[in-house]
């Protein structure tokens, strides 16, 4: 059956507006569409394809597991899930892992666990969840309400209650809102969708101290920042602050859908049998692939390489900006970078993204004013240069 972009409009729910071209093949950091046109992939499936497309170790893991066992449900456990959980707990603060299918599900589990922990330990009054404006935590009704972007949560009826928002990096505003009724604070250790905004180190430490003061849990949403994206396995490891619960997904499976919630033994005990679940969570195929990804991403060589690539990216973007003066600021860490447009081009991030695609460079936006780059963690330097050459050609055309 021959399909085209027009087929999308005929058969798909119109909640997406995908590009006109349809990718059909990928290898490393390069992608080819139906017409055979080649692209450098700086989008990475939105910070997912941490080892690029069709990495041999992932293909091998999927192929081998696909010949053994596909699915069981959580009536039984399985070897890939147990191996992956053991590696995650050995490499982090966590003692226990809950597997899901996506970042939204990992965050949903984190929020439900926090509420259950507070209820069991302190009673029904302790249910307030505080999150941050411009934050993003997924599209379930609970997570999208906790996310600090009302446009995503409005229009679906009454929202889950006892959820408040304050500005990111504003410790005084957070402290003014907290009390003994505060159950948990949920935050990204670097806001992705909200514009690639890094926290002040003192802010993050202050959040941890406030959680301790008011007996509240600190939940880190590391769906986008986790699994090597910022140059350490998880971003909290660079901040000197340890959360109580951590949500992971995106790069965790390198392109195979999987999410995970990590926490301590004491907190995990409050999700007793029957309190939460997932039919596909801990699926053997997903866990086998994620284990292969872990073994590569967790290596010192790859993590050090992420920081080196960050510097190359930032230097090239600065060189481009010195010619065209289109960026107000380039920010972010590792392979999660954002270029905020200058005032002359405010609101035109999508125009730049589309122009870049015309020149063979796939990138993303984070809001109306920020170009976002989330490529493979092991993208070759030659592909970084080629992709940024395409971006520069696109900028030259737009700027005129």
Positions marked active-site: 136, 221, 250
Question: What tokens were used for 87?
Answer: 């590696």
Question: What tokens were used for 359?
Answer: 């020149």
Contact 152, 165 (CB under 8 A): no
As a whole number of angstroms, the distance between CA 54 and CA 227 comes to: 18
Indicate the pairing of strand 30-33 with strand 364-365.
unpaired
Contact 361, 42 (CB under 8 A): yes
Is the Cα torsion angle 175, 177, 180, 184 positive or negative in sign? negative
Helix ranges restricted to H, the chain? 5-11, 44-47, 56-66, 79-91, 103-122, 141-146, 150-153, 171-177, 201-213, 236-239, 265-268, 284-297, 300-324, 349-358, 381-399
As a whole number of angstroms, the distance between CA 204 and CA 222 comes to: 14
Residues in CB range of 82: below 8 A, 6 or more apart: none
As a whole number of angstroms, the distance between CA 340 and CA 209 comes to: 32
Q: Fill in the DSSP letter of residue 94.
A: -
Q: Fill in the DSSP letter of residue 250.
A: G
Q: Which residues are annotated as a binding site for N(2)-acetyl-L-ornithine?
A: 139, 278
- SS3 label, residue 191: strand
Contact 216, 10 (CB under 8 A): no
Contact 281, 43 (CB under 8 A): no
Q: Which residues are annotated as a binding site?
A: 103-104, 136, 139, 221-224, 278-279
Q: Which of 53, 17, 44, 37 is nearest to 360 (CA)?
A: 37
φ, ψ of residue 347 to 5 degrees: the values are 80, 5
Contact 18, 10 (CB under 8 A): no
Question: What tokens were used for 120?
Answer: 């069991």
């Amino acid at each position: 059956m021959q399909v085209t972009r027009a087929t999308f409009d005929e058969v798909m729910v119109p909640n997406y507006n995908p590009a006109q071209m349809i990718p059909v093949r990928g290898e490393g950091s390069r992608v080819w569409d139906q017409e055979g046109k080649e692209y450098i992939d700086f989008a990475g499936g939105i910070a997912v394809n941490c080892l690029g497309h069709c990495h041999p170790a992932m293909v091998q893991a999927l192929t081998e597991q696909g010949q053994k066992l596909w699915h069981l449900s959580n009536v039984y456990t399985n070897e890939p899930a147990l191996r992956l959980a053991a590696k995650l707990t050995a490499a982090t603060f966590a003692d226990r892992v809950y597997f899901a299918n996506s970042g939204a599900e990992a965050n949903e589990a984190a929020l439900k666990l926090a509420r259950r922990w507070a209820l069991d330990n302190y009673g029904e009054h302790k249910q307030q969840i505080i999150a941050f404006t411009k934050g993003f935590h997924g599209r379930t009704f609970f997570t999208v309400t906790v996310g600090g972007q009302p446009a995503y949560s409005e229009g679906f009826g009454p929202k889950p209650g006892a959820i408040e928002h304050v500005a990111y990096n504003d410790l005084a505003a957070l402290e003014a809102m907290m009390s003994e009724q505060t159950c948990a604070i949920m935050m990204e250790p670097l806001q992705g969708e909200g514009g690639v905004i890094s926290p002040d180190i003192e802010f993050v430490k202050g959040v941890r101290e406030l959680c301790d003061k008011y007996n509240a849990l600190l939940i880190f949403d590391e769906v986008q920042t986790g699994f090597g994206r910022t140059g350490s396995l998880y971003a909290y490891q660079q901040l000197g602050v340890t959360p109580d619960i951590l949500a992971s997904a995106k790069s965790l499976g390198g392109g195979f859908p999987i999410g995970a919630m990590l926490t301590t033994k004491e907190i995990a005990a409050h999700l007793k049998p029957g309190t939460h679940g997932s039919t596909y969570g801990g699926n053997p195929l997903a866990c086998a692939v994620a284990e292969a990804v872990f073994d590569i991403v967790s290596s010192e060589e790859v993590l050090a390489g992420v920081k080196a690539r960050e510097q190359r990216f930032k230097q090239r973007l600065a060189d481009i900006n010195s010619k065209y003066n289109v960026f107000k600021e380039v920010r972010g860490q590792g392979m999660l970078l954002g270029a905020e447009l200058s005032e002359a081009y405010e609101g035109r991030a999508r125009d730049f993204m589309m122009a870049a695609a015309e020149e063979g460079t796939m990138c993303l936006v984070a809001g109306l004013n920020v170009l976002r780059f989330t490529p493979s963690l092991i993208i070759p330097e030659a592909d970084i240069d080629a992709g940024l050459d395409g971006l520069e050609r696109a900028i030259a055309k737009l700027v005129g």
